[in-house]
Structure 1
């Protein structure tokens, strides 16, 4: 299960990197990970 989430997060990160700075990507990614851990 976690492997799938990580793979999805990696794909999302690749897409976000095209549109925003690294800081924004890390911020969004941390929120995504946090939302999955609840």
Structure 2
């Protein structure tokens, strides 16, 4: 996780996770977001 935190300081990272603990330090968390045209 340290590498992701270091990279995340300079880049945008899109993460798909099954556990909330994986993304708990994220700035934004979207749950069950439906994207429609």
TM-score relative to the length of structure 1: 0.28
**Greater helix share, structure number:** 1
Ranked by relative contact order (alpha carbons within 8 Å, sequence separation 6 or more), the top structure is 1
